[in-house]
Each structure stands twice: as C-alpha cells, then as structure tokens.
Structure 1
Amino acid sequence: MQLSTEQSHGYALVIVMGFVAVLSVLLSAVMLYSSTQMRIARSQADNESALYLAQAGAEGAAAYVANGGDGPWSTGGTNAQGACVVAVIPSGMLSESPRTISGWINLHPNGEPGQGGNDFALRLPDGTMIDHYDLNQDAQDYVGPAVWVHFRAGGSGQQIGLVVDGAPYPIQHNYTYEIFAGSMHVNLYNNNRNPQGKAVGKWHLAIATACASLIVTD
C-alpha cells in the first residue's frame, strides 16, 4: 500500500517524537545516576573528613596523656557538617568539681558594643587578655590554659555543643556566659584559613574543665 505524503510525514513525526521521548528518558536516567553518585561522593568525603577529625582528636588526647598531662585538656575541629571536640578530664577531679564543663561554642566576636561587640574575652593564667578585637584575620589560634572566659554565642536559636556535668547544655544566643576555673584548658581556633594563613572562617572555642563556676546573665 502506498502512503500519501501527509501520512508519510505523520509517521515520520511520530518516529521522531518517539526518539525524543526515548532520549528524554535516557537523559533523565543519566542525570539521576550522576546526581546520586555526586551525593554518594559528598557523603563519603564528609565521612572521611569526620573520621580524620575524630582520629586527630583521639591521637592528640592519647599524646597528652602519654606525656604526663594531668589536667583538663581539649581540642577540636570542624568540617562542612559540624564539629568534633575531644576533651580529657581526669576522673579523680570529677567528684571535687562544682561544675564539669566540656565541648565547644561558636563565637560571634565582631560588631560594636551593644550590637554584638564585647561578645568574647579570655583571660590566661598570667593575666593576658584575648578579646573580640584580637580575633582578626591576622590572629593565631590559641591552645593552652585559661582561668576565665566570657562570651555571647554567635548565630541564632541555641547551640548544643557544650556539656555541663555530663549533660547537654544548650547555649542561648541572647544570653551572656562566664566560666571561672582555676584549671581550664581551651582551644581557640578559626575553622578556615586561606593559603596565606589568614583567618577567614568562624571562630570557635573548645573548653575542658573539671572544676568551674558558670554564671549566666541576660
């Protein structure tokens, strides 16, 4: 049977549309597969980063104990998904302490007084003070002892990185906190530095102390 010109064109159009539909299905499948593979790759990278942070913290804690460390100590790090803090608190000090505090907080060191300024201050045993004005791009991380810390947490809502007396202690961003301790180990660090060593990320403070006083004001 001989087809008319209109019928031939119609069949050709149907065939072309069929090919387009098949190609669309194949393209969707390829895009779905690629998206799935990218999510898997990101998840694997995040897991590897988290494992690296935890391993580094555990190794640091083991080295501290092996070298004869006998006081509270902490270290921490962050990746895109969160933070890891490792704290060492001698068991013999737990029963003697009014408050046992460990964990980390996200600081908000910028701004003017009354609008986010004066949100952070740290006093070292020798009387040296580190405050929010010191936390600029040229500032270096500090790891060592401290006797007092004053902070108003950054962000909104609450943070859940701090543990007090063995229980999670939510930190509200609209309150001011002070921690006094005769023996407190802190790790003040920036979570992102550029190739020139400039601090371009967020500032965090990891804390470990087995004998502290905690004062909260609004």
Structure 2
Amino acid sequence: MEPADGRLPLTELARTRAREAAATSGRLDPTGPEDLAPNDRCLLGSRGSGGPGMLNNIYNSNYQFVQTPDALVIVVEMNYGVRVIPILRDRAAARAAHRPAVLNLWMGDSVAWWEGDALVVETVNVNPQQGRFGPIFLSPQGRVTERFTRASATQIAYEFRVEDQVHYTQPWRAEMVLEALDGQIYEYACHEGNYAMSGILAGARVKEAGGGAP
C-alpha cells in the first residue's frame, strides 16, 4: 500500500467530492433519477466494485475472467458490469489504441499489454459521473494502472496505481489477492423487481406536497 500510512492523499477538491457523494447517497428529496447516485440508478456497481481499480464490496464481490490471446473480459458480479479490454503487443501499441476521450465510458477506456508474467491494464477517460462520485475520484486527466499476476494455481495477485493531480497530492497504490472459487457468476438484475427508485421518487413528491418526511 502506498502511501505507507494507508490514507488516501486527497486534495481539498477530492474531500469536497467525498462529502458531496455521501450527501447524494442519502438524499431523500431528488427531483428526478439524475439526482441520485450512479449505483442507485443501476448504472454502475456500488463502492468501486467495477473499477478501475476494483474494490471489495459488502456483497457480490466476485469476478469472472475470460482471457483470449487478444482480449481480457472481466465480468463484475455487482450490477453485472463487463469490461472488455484489448491486449496489444506492448505499451506503445496499447496506448495508441485508446479510444477518443469524448466517449466517456463507464469504468473507463482500458487497454492491456504483457510485461513478463504480469498483464498490465491502463485505464483513462472514466465517465465524469463515475469520476466525481468515487470512491476512487478521477478527473479527465486521471489514469489507473492495474497489474494481474498469477501467484498460484488458485490465486491472482492484483494491484493498481492511481495517478490524478486533480484529486490526489501524489500517486497511490493498493493491492490484494484474488482467490479462485467454484461456481459461476449469475446475472445481477438491478431494477428487476426492485421498487427502490420509484419509492424514493414517490416519497420525495409526497414531501414536496407537504406530507412530511417520507
């Protein structure tokens, strides 16, 4: 872990963003779905589970990796996000394959290349809504570099490094070990049979009409 004290080296802007994200998550008076957090809208997995970098969630913290000679596909159990990452011959070729920044993809624009036994994944241009909400705050200038290394027959050593001078006073790095499990990833249908969104919005309309707190 870097920095050694384990604390994120947040700039004042990032601290402000963290407070705004916490307020958004607990909001009871949205005027519409757009006022709610991306995970409440089922656009993205919660607590940074989809990456980059990928963080542990309180549940549904599983991933499925499908690797071919040309691509790595990561299926994220939480909200069933999918990252399709092309694998190029080296870092220069990979960086040249980044797509236009205007696309602003959820979970960013990722490319990969091999460095010895490590598969290196570089991600830029994370969607601004995701970058502002966190928990890993990223500006349009932000860059996340992930490394996947086979540690044993059942383990992958995973680490990532975040560089973004807008939100952090220095680059920072984290790591963990991914353990293999038997079984498969099942679809996570976020809004299927889920009344949270309609309940939040209906409660806000009642509050507006003078009906008190929902």
Q: What TM-score comes out, normalization by structure 2 length? A: 0.27
Q: Which has the higher helix share?
A: 1
Q: Compare CA radii of gyration and give the structure with the larger one.
A: 1
